[in-house]
Amino acid sequence: MLNFLLKRLIDLVPTLLGVSLLAFFVIRLVPGDPVMLMLGERGADPKVYQEMKRELGLDKPILSQYQSFLINSFRGDLGRSLVSKRKVTEEFFGRFPATLELGLCALFFAALIGIPLGILAALKRNSFFDYFLMGGSLVGYSMPIFWWGLILIIIFSVGLGLTPVSGRIDVLYDVPTITGFYLVDTLSPEVLAEEGLAPFISAISHLILPSIAMGTIPLAVLARMTRSSMLEVMGEDYIRTAKAKGLPYKKIVLIHGLRNALIPIITVLGLMFGSIITGAILTETIFSWPGIGKWLVASINARDYPVIQGGVLFIATMVVLINLAVDFVYAVINPKMR
């Protein structure tokens, strides 16, 4: 097991190195000069322009800039934003709770609906419900998030007026930052004493549409994976033995069947968690959600190199660590993986 874990840790090094290369060089291929964007009309003065480049360290050769970026990243210093002048790590962790809260809610929505639907589809194999569910999951998997999010806004926010259009909470409420999760912070004694449950209800209402938009694709994948896994398990000998013993059908399905079918499902859930964080960029932009996705889009528009480099490297590190944790758990459960 130790050798397996060490091998996977070593494999992470070239992955993160490749991500740092892409994050550093690709953004510099995009047309636009960050110094010119910052100076605006004053950029016409060559002296001011060169002085600003020198202050930001953009006058050095590009390979020297990349070397400094690697060394500083290894030390935990990802630089400062060219726009806000704040540390990239501070800005990242200030926005990450919003993205994590949205991702967890989307994953909860996907698992809450996708797994039961997959079980029902497996139990009703080749029925109309099975075909309808598999067809619907294919449609859900194929829908672009930016299109699906706009459709949800038009129907439920603009048309029916049931949910807010954008944001994370109503502007009337000032929630103190304790954990960064509004579903938790709005239930603090201080907020409950002053505002009651109104801020908590507002936070939930703002989460509904973004969670549905982000969780639709994972829901479709989970439904199909659960169906396949349950069909495989329900055909095993121990299931036939349990039926022959006269055990209740619900007990056979939920205890003997689902328990063994959950191994690949849990693996997929772990891998999806990493992909949901990366997929938050589109969702946060559509719903004006103040997370790292919206932050990165604004940084790309401003050509804020340190933010883009550091943000992408942070996200990539989290994704590979989540994948490593999933591999480790799966290796513990299934010795064949070792």
Better-scored residue on pLDDT, 33 or 114:
114
DSSP letter (8 states) at residue 87? B
Which of left, alpha, beta for 126 (phi over 0: left; psi -120 to 50: alpha)? left
* Residues 6 or more apart whose Cβ sits within 8 Å of residue 7: none
Q: What amino acid is encoded at 64 in this protein?
A: S
Average pLDDT over residues 225-239: 82
Q: Which residue has the tokens 């169906």?
A: 227
Judged on CB neighbours under 10 Å (0-12, 13-18, 19+), 63 is: exposed
pLDDT in tens, 258-279: 777 777 887 788 777 777 766 6
Spatial separation of the C-alpha atoms in residues 260 and 238, rounded to whole Å: 11
pLDDT for the residue 338: 55
Q: What pLDDT is stored for residue 270 in this prediction?
A: 75
d(CA 284, CA 103): 11
Highest mean pLDDT among 30-34, 130-134, 247-251 belongs to 130-134
Q: How far apart are CA 325 and CA 319, in angstroms?
A: 10
At residue 334 the predicted structure's pLDDT band, cuts being 50, 70 and 90, is low
Percentage above 70 pLDDT, the chain? 92
**What is the token pair recorded at 45?**
């003065």
Q: What is the pLDDT of residue 73?
A: 79
Local confidence band at 42 (pLDDT 50, 70, 90 cut-offs): low
Mean pLDDT of 14-19: 80
- Angle formed by the axes of helices 258-286 and 198-234, to 10°? 140
How does pLDDT run across 171-228, given as a tens digit for each residue? 888 888 888 888 888 888 888 888 888 889 988 999 999 999 888 888 888 888 888 8
User: Which of these, 119, 131, 114, 136, lies nearest to 227 by C-alpha position?
Assistant: 119
Question: Which pLDDT score, from 0 to 100, does residue 121 have?
Answer: 87
Residue type, 249: Y
Q: What's the chain's Rg over C-alpha atoms? A: 24
- Taking 70 as the threshold, does the pLDDT of residue 43 lie above it? no
CA distances from 206 to 170, 189, 290, 301 (A): 8, 22, 12, 26
Q: Which domains does the chain have, with CATH numbers?
A: 1-82+303-338 (no CATH), 91-281 (1.10.3720.10)
Q: How far apart are the C-alpha atoms of 28 and 24, rounded to whole Å?
A: 7
Q: Cα-flanking dihedrals φ and ψ of residue 246, to 5°?
A: 85, 20
Residue 337 is predicted with a pLDDT of: 55
Q: What is the pLDDT of residues 44-100, one digit of tens each?
A: 567 777 777 777 777 777 788 788 888 877 877 777 887 778 888 888 888 888 888
N residues, the chain: 338
